[in-house]
Amino acid sequence: MKASDEEQKPKEESQPVMESAAVQPTNYEQEDDQPEQDGILEKLKGDRIGETMYSERFVLTTILKLPQLKTSLADDEDFEKDLCSLWDMTIEKDVVLFLLKHDVVELFVGLSENSQDYRLMEILFGIIGNMCCVDETHKCLYENKSLLMSLCAFLESSDTLVLVQLMRIITSLLDRSDDEQYCWFKLFREIEGMTDKLGFILSSTTNKELIEHTVEAVHAMVNRFTEAEVDYAQLNEFYSIFAKPSLIEGLMEGFKQVYPETAAENKFEEEYLTSKDLKTIQKFLEIHENLIINANEAYTNYVEKIVYCMWRVLVPLSGESSLLPLSKMHVRIFVSINSIYSAIVYHFHAETFLALVKIYTLLSKEQEAIQKNATNQESSTADDKEETEDCEFDIQTALGEILETLYFTAEPIDLSTIENTWKASCFSEPIVERLCSAIRGTMAGDPLLERTCNLLMEGARNVWSKKDRS
């Protein structure tokens, strides 16, 4: 059975569950002795965990060995394999319920607190992380505040793999818990220095996996606490805890580690952004979107850095391989960028502006191609038509967000600035005319609309007239 994003198998020696972990049939010398075989099989079934084929005896034996472990797991390869098998088994709900029945979360946390064996801690936290896909584990941690506090104390761990599993636990708790049953904010706000610890992890690690998992954990906190739990009266408390320089700086540094600068101007090292890249970028930007809109003053000293991050996102997205086919993640990225730019008004960045124009031209062409194709295929099935309509809707939504962002970036500029910007581009007069027409349609009613569009066109025409004379 394949583990999901939340259900994880151990990385080292990732093997099928060991034979000793499963209930095994017995070989019989007298195969025709059916009644005797049936009786033995019934006894074996009594050792099964729920509806699985996993052995209660194996699980209990493995758990009981843990407190007796006197050496590092590196010195006991067989026991490490048994623990990895137990980790594999926790993708089954019946196994998780069996473990909870024997208070293993308390046992695992207590053993980790008294251990210096990072591999052991990684496996134990990995098991707890898988267990967090079951609501009963949420209840266990929610009702035992000291246990959750002990877990979060490991945010100060220096081991990357331990921290990755801890972030999985936090993310699963917040993403998968019932909104009405659990109010995690009242517990997490009591964890001293949590925001600073998360910021330190993001700013100090060079491990891409840890950065991605930490961003997911922070994203889960921001989403959960602001959308599902925290009422209006508590929002100030939330932002006083989370909208801190340590976290904002950590997010910026973490982003630069995942997407570093390159020698080639205006290019990423990657030829295209994968869906995993898009997911990380989406969550990164949504965190900033929430914080910058609701705690704008916290970003006073970080405007240049957040603009830089958005530019680094838009550069690869202005390439067809990273932009098309357009997905929901693309759209959400453009929504966040628009929201952020609307919050930092009066800030122009030429490279960002030109990347947005390029994205606009690519999406406009894609929209035209889809519409033309739909017109030519009159015999399309209902499913095909629905898929085409969904795609058109996503493109139209993305175009709306991009046009608004272009407007917010262009609104404060002067003529010489826009002239220099167009001079650095290869856009033709028809493209700029079409762009301005689209902005007029999107921003209709804005008092500065005509001034801004006229400025964009005047700057472009001045550049073209100079090129013609030369």
Q: pLDDT category, 470, cuts 50, 70, 90?
A: low
**pLDDT of 103 higher than 90:** yes
Tokens describing residue 383? 């499913």
What confidence category does residue 267 fall into, taking pLDDT thresholds of 50, 70 and 90? low
Give residue 32's pLDDT. 55
Cα separation, 279 vs 212, in Å, equals 9
- What pLDDT was estimated at residue 385? 77
Q: What is the pLDDT of residue 379?
A: 61
Asked which of 21-35, 290-304, 368-382 is least confident by mean pLDDT, the reply is 21-35
Q: What is the pLDDT of residue 12?
A: 47
DSSP string, 352-413: HHHHHHHHHHHHHHHHHHHHHHHHH-TT--HHHHHHHHHHHHHHHHHHHHHHHHHHHHHTT-
Average pLDDT over residues 173-193: 94
Cβ(307)–Cβ(347) below 8 Å = yes
- Map tokens 């629905």 to a residue: 386
Least confident of 26-30, 274-278, 420-424, 457-461: 26-30
The DSSP secondary structure of 195-251, one letter per residue, reads: HHHHHHHHHH---HHHHHHHHHHHHHHHHIIIIII--HHHHHHHHHHHS-HHHHHHH
Determine the residue type at 198: L
Q: Is the pLDDT of residue 219 over 50?
A: yes
pLDDT of the residue at 381: 75
For 307-347, write each residue's pLDDT tens digit: 999 999 999 999 999 999 999 999 999 999 999 999 997 78
**Minimum mean pLDDT among 45-54, 177-186, 252-261: which range?**
45-54
pLDDT at site 176: 94
Average pLDDT over residues 16-43: 50
Is the pTM for the entire model greater than 0.85?
yes
For residue 91, the model assigns a pLDDT of 95
SS3 (DSSP) at 110: helix
Question: Over 60: is that where the pLDDT of 114 sits?
Answer: yes
CA 277 – CA 262 distance, rounded (Å): 17
Q: How confident is the model at residue 26 (pLDDT cuts 50, 70, 90)?
A: very low
Encode pLDDT of 371-411 as tens digits.
Answer: 888 777 766 677 777 888 899 999 999 999 999 999 999 98
Q: For position 172, what pLDDT does the model report? A: 97
pLDDT of residue 169: 98
